Structures are given as C-alpha cells and as structure tokens.
Structure 1
Amino acid sequence: MAYLPMTARSRDEAHRAATPLELFFDLCFVVAVAQAGRQLVHALAEDHIGAGITGYLFVFFGVWWAWMNFTWFASAYDIDDVPYRLATLVQIAGVLVYSAGIPRAFNDTDWTVAVVGYLVMRVALTFQWLRAAGGEEGGARRCALTYAVGLVVCQAGWVALLWAPEGSERWLFVVLVVAELLVPVVAERHHQTPWHPHHIAERYGLFTIIVLGETVAASTVAVQSALDEHEALDVLLPIAAGGLVLVFAAWWIYFAVPAHDRLSSNREAIPWGYGHFVIFASAAAIGAGIEVAVEHAVGKAHVSTVTANLSVTLPASLFLGFVWLLHSRHFKHGPAQQAVLPVAAVLLLACAWTGTYAVLWAGCVAAAAVAAGVTLVHRERSEGVRREEEVPS
C-alpha cells in the first residue's frame, strides 16, 4: 500500500463505516476497560468507596480520552495508507502500556507507567495531525496544527505531573483534564474538521457494545468463581438473571434512536461526545457492580447490602439518565414517552433498598422501561396510520 497525501475525507461520503483497523483498535481497549473495572471491584468490596470511585473516574478518563482522540481524527482523516496504519498500531501499543499502569495509578497514585503509555499514543497522534496539516491549507491547516500543539502541551503537563508535590496530584489531574477537553473546542473554533455523523455514531455505538460486553464477561467470571467456591446457586441466580436483563435493556435503550440525526455540527457533537464519558464509564461500572453484588452475596465483600446494591443500580441509573439526556429525549413525543427513562432511572436507584433481590428488581425495572417505550412508540405509529386512513382522498 503506497504512501498517500493526507487530505480530509468527505463529510457526505456514502456508506462510511468502521474499518477493520478501527475495530481492532477498539478491541484492544477491552484490556484497559477490564483493568479499570477490576480495580473498582476491589476498592468497593473493601469498602473504600470514595477512593474507589475517584480512582475509577481518573483511570477511565484516560481510556475514554485516548479512544476519543483517535476516533474523531480517524473520522475526518483516515486514508488507510502505510504510515497511517503504523501510527495507529503504535497508538494501540500505547493503550496496552497504559492498561498495564492502571493498577499502580489506581491504588498507589503512581502514574509513571500510564503516562509512558499515553506518551507513546500522543507521539503517534501528533504525527497524524502534522500529516493532516501538511495536506491542508488555511483554516483546516491551522486547526490541525492547533491540535498538534495542544497534544504536545497537554502531554508535557502529564509528564510534569509525575514530579508534582505529594498530595497535589489529584487537583493537578483535574486541571489537566480541563485542558485536554478544551483542545478540541479551541482547535475547531473557526474550522470544523470533516468528521462523518454516521461514522461517529457507529463508532460510539460499537464502543458501547464493547463496554457492555465487558460487563457481561466480568459478571460471568464473578458468578462462576462464586459457584466454584461456594456453590450458592440459589443466592447467585437472581443476581445473574437481573444483571443479564439489565445489560440487555441497556443495549436496547441505547440503540433505540438514530443518534446520527442530531450530529450536524460541533455545537451538538461536542456535548454529545463528551457526555458519553458517563455512558461508557457507567456501562462498564455495571459489570463491576454485579461483581461486588456477587461477592457480597457469598460473604466476601465488606460492605452493607445497600452499598452492594448501589454499586449496580447507581451506574445503571446514570446510564439511562444520560442516554435520555444526550439523544433519546430529542426523539420522544409527548410527556409519556419523555418520562419513561427519567422515571426508570429514579426507580433503579430505589431498587438499592429492596434487599437481596435488588439486582433482579433492577433488571425488571429496566425491562419495564423497554416495554413501555416500545408500547408507546407502537401506539403513536398506529394512531398516525389511523389518522392517515381517516383523511378523505
């Protein structure tokens, strides 16, 4: 495959779909998502709630932001030549190094290995943006150069974080997160990169499937381990059944509406894209929560029943709430349709106080939300067809 000049792809390109290289890139992120979830399980099970949630959000930001950086660049500039492929493979190597550093970052606030992994990713991505700048002119060139400079400056900040005074790391981390989030806003202030709405929506959907799949895998391993050690099928079955239904419902709800229809410009796309941090993090945390619920059921988790239940119902509630906030509400008609997901999110939280069958009840609530949504949409369509038939020809 020859070297090609890097020029922007058409925003109106027909049949724009995820490439095998993008799918491979996403698959390697499973390792990072699994590492973050595993550390969260250990922290919650040992009743280190605050430290566990904070550590999880910090390390998951690194996972999500690395994926975001690549995804939006690829949507605009993926030319699939040899340098592009090699740079992407280098980024994948960086992801794996970052994943290896997650336990130290989570438990000991030692970000050395994670920052090295990020540095590897950033060198490759900066090269990509400089290539893009070389093939563009005017506003597009300035935009690409701003991205490249922003990446270098922020990465310098992450490296400097390794020498920050003890006790200041978490506050400096938040400052760097804000700086990272501002780079796309500043870079695309006067020129929008030609990302493809259908392609972006598909990429986000695929990553949602990945984190939900990791939730299923983690839950399965937890139940299997508990059965091998305790053979407590009667206790574990409601958790396994409720958790599975919960994941099924999460998938159904996320893909119920065509998200790409609202992604017409950065004004809609940036809040939508950034808001997915909560969707991805909560979807992955559901699996961690199910593991905690399993450990609590067999007496291995040192937390109360309500806390164990909240480890499942809180992320599930956040998932439903943010799916509604980011795109479902824009496709709902009437107060009944609009109320389904917010009400279900509140009921999911309430399930935490229903005792040992909380996860099963949470699955029932999520399934009821799907059934209510499908019923209301079907009724609306039936009434629309009826009204059309009543109109005289």
Structure 2
Amino acid sequence: MSAILRPLVSRNPSEHHRVSTTLELFFDLITVIAIAAVTAGLHHGISEGHGLEVLPRFLFLFFAIWWCWMNFTWFASAFDNDDSLYRLLVMVIMCGELIFAGGAGYIFDTLDMRFGILGWVIMRLGMAALWLRAARDNPDYRQTCFRYALGILVAQALWALMYFTTAPGSTAFFVAGIGIYVVELAVPAFAESAKPTPFHRHHIIERYGLLMIISLGEIMLSVSHGFGALFSDHPSLEAALTAVSGLVVVFSIWWVYFCEEEQLTTTAQPQAMIWGYGHVLIFLATAVLGAAIAAGVDLATHHGEATAGDVSRWLGLALALLFATLRLVRDRAHRLPAHLAPALPVMAAVFAAGGLLGLPVWAYAILSVVLVGWRSPGRERHGAAS
C-alpha cells in the first residue's frame, strides 16, 4: 500500500522479479486509446483512397503519443516509488494524454493543435514535476534529472511558440514540428550524458512487450469487424477471408517478435538507445498494419474507395518496415545461427515487393507463416544473447 509521501529514490537495476505495476498497465491502456484515435484517421484515409495525403498528420500525432509513453516508461523503470504523490502526478499525465486523444480526430482533420497543446502542457508539467522530485531525492543523479526537467520544459515552450506563430498544416508548421521533435529526441541523450539513469533492463523489455501486445490487440478489432460481416444481411466471405488472413498475420508477428526473451541484450549505449528509439518504427508499423487491415475489410464489404492494390501496398510496406526494424534493433545484437540471421531482412524485402506487386491479403498470411517457420523454430524461451 502506498505511503502519502516518501523519497523518490532510484530503483535497483538488478532487482529480482521486477514486473510492471498496475499503474503502468493503466497508463498503457490510455496510450493505446490515444493511438487508436489517431490510427482511425489513417484508416479512413486509406479506405477513401488518399492515405498518402493524411500520412504526415498520422506520423506527427503518433510520434507525440509514443513520446509521452517513452518519457514515462523509462522514468518509472528508474525511479518509481509508488507513493501517493507519484501516483497523482502519473494520473495528471494520463489526464493530459486523454485530452490529446479526445481531440485527436479534430487535430487530424484540421491540424489545429489547441487540444494537443493543452494535453501536452498537462502531460509535460506532470513529467517535469516527477523529474524535479527525483532530482531532489537523488544527489547522484541530480544533474541528469535537472537536465530532463529543463529539456521537457524548453521543448514544451517551443511547441507553444509554434502554435502561436505558424498556420496549421503550413510548410512552416511541419518544418518547425520536425525541428522540435529533434529537440525532444536530443533531451535523453543530453541528460544521460551526465550520468545514465538506472533503468531495469528486464522491466523495460517487459514494458515494450506489453505495449506491443496491446498494439496487436488493436488490430484484432479490425479482424473482428471482418468476421462481423458474416452476420450481416449480405454475408461477405471476402471480408471473412481478409479477417482470417489478418489474424494469421497478427499471430505471426507475435510469434516472431517474442521468439527471443532477451530483446535488449545490454544497458550500454548506444545499443540501449537504438533499441528504445528504434521501437517507434515497430509500433508505428503495427498501427499502420491495423489501419490497412481495416481498410481491407472496408474494401471487401464495399464501404471504401481504395483499390485492392492500394490496400496491398500499405500492408506490404508496413510489414516490411516492422521486420526490417526488428532486425536492426534486436537481431543485429544477437549471435544467431547462419540460417536464421537473414530471415528478417530477406522477408522484409519480400513483403515490400509484395506491396509493390499488389499481392492479395491472404498471400501476406502465407508469407508470414513462412517467416515464422524460418526465423523462430526452437528460439522460444531461450534467447541467444551476445
């Protein structure tokens, strides 16, 4: 049971049986609600035949949500003390993220960031307060924590300045946004250069794995809509085939992603940062895949304007990005047998080619099963870390 207030001291990075807390799981749920709100905009864009037009908006908003999750997840791994003030500050961050999620549709349509700025101000004030608490209670990490707090507040001030000085959707808007994201990404490197925070490696692996599972679960909602077409007045076997194919693809992604227990093999830089940052592309590709499968169901039930080739390109390129990134952030750091090492890059190239050729959805299911058979046999439960 949490105390009202106790020192927010660093956790032991070698602590045994360190698992995610219920508050962290709650935070993940809020994050996925926000991701779903943004992904819905991409889904409708793909389904209506103008996915490329809305892609920059999706990327802009998706990164913001993921970055909020990243900030909290790595902080909690190092400093979570579960007292009442800690819980309240995390709930403040969650409130800000829900405001962002609630306005995601409006932001997606207009790029008017008033809801984004409001949500982010709340989130960032909560996050900065946590870092300042950690700075007060951890003399050894004081400079690191102060740098994090300062970086967060400076970046937030830049977002506010951008809102008041650029027109939504203008070239200046996107250029300024990209520049501020560069500042955001630089904050951890700047802060950790003072003294690396004592994150728990296996706890971080679990946190990323849990977000991956929940992200895959979102795709299952699109799959269920495909099966739901069987119960309409005009049952659609094509939609059911899309759903079955999507289900096989999701199961295959789960199988390949979790075939190595040691996802992150070291706490040393730069590998830990490559792994942590690189996952944004894995989560991004998973969200795009869900949008594409949903668009495929729309196509099968005659509720969309996209062609089969359009949907195939989104499916193939999303899968290619996912597995190519997994090779970069995970497999590159493992000493894999010669016959397993090329599995992810080769199949990523095959998925990309399939997208360009316009393969049907069921073909991706078959290719996904091929990848499972190639990359993961015998790998479960005993990852080969370097």
* TM value normalised by structure 2: 0.92
Mapping for residues 220-235 of structure 1, pairs under 5 Å: 220-221=224-225, 223-224=227-228, 228=232, 230-233=234-237, 235=238
Contact persistence 1:41–1:289 (CA under 8 A)? yes
Structure 1 distance, partners of 2:357, 2:231, is 24
**1:78 paired to 2:80:** yes
- Structure 1 ranges of 4+ moved more than 6 A: none
Structure 1 distance, partners of 2:322, 2:61, is 19
Alignment size in residue pairs? 376
CA-CA distance at 1:353 after TM superposition: 5.8
Contact persistence 1:226–1:298 (CA under 8 A)? no
Structure 2 distance, partners of 1:104, 1:283, is 23
Structure 2 distance, partners of 1:210, 1:7, is 30
Rg larger for: 1
Structure 1 distance, partners of 2:175, 2:307, is 30
SS at match of 1:162: helix
Q: Match of 1:216?
A: 220
* TM value normalised by structure 1: 0.91
Contact persistence 2:229–2:236 (CA under 8 A)? no
Contact persistence 1:36–1:60 (CA under 8 A)? yes
Structure 1 distance, partners of 2:315, 2:269, is 33
Mapping for residues 6-155 of structure 1, pairs under 5 Å: 6-138=8-140, 140-155=141-156
CA-CA distance at 1:263 after TM superposition: 2.7
Percent identity between the two aligned chains: 33
**1:288 paired to 2:301:** no
| 1:324 paired residue among 317, 324, 327 | 327
CA 1:261–1:41 in 2, change beyond 3 Å: closer, same or farther? closer
Structure 1 window deviating more from structure 2 (180-189 vs 358-367): it is 358-367
Q: Match of 1:174?
A: 178
Contact persistence 1:236–1:294 (CA under 8 A)? yes
CA-CA distance at 1:154 after TM superposition: 0.5
Mapping for residues 326-365 of structure 1, pairs under 5 Å: 326-352=329-355, 358-365=360-367
Q: Match of 2:245?
A: 242
Q: Match of 2:158?
A: 157
| 2:270 paired residue among 267, 270, 277 | 267
CA-CA distance at 1:309 after TM superposition: 1.1
**1:276 paired to 2:279:** yes
CA 1:155–1:226 in 2, change beyond 3 Å: closer, same or farther? farther
Structure 2 distance, partners of 1:229, 1:291, is 20
CA-CA distance at 1:260 after TM superposition: 4.8
Q: Match of 2:318?
A: 315
Which structure 1 residue ranges, 5 or more long, are not aligned?
382-393
Q: Match of 2:209?
A: 205
Contact persistence 1:223–1:294 (CA under 8 A)? no
CA-CA distance at 1:225 after TM superposition: 5.5
CA 1:22–1:365 in 2, change beyond 3 Å: closer, same or farther? same
Structure 1 distance, partners of 2:357, 2:241, is 13
Superposed CA deviations along residues 75-130 of structure 1, whole A, max 9, x for unmatched, are 00000001000001111111110101211221211111011111111111111001
Greater share of helix: 1
Which structure 2 residue ranges, 5 or more long, are not aligned?
none
Contact persistence 1:200–1:260 (CA under 8 A)? no
Contact persistence 2:131–2:148 (CA under 8 A)? yes
Structure 2 distance, partners of 1:245, 1:237, is 12
| 1:300 paired residue among 283, 287, 303 | 303
CA-CA distance at 1:157 after TM superposition: 1.0
CA-CA distance at 1:377 after TM superposition: 5.6
CA 1:215–1:82 in 2, change beyond 3 Å: closer, same or farther? same
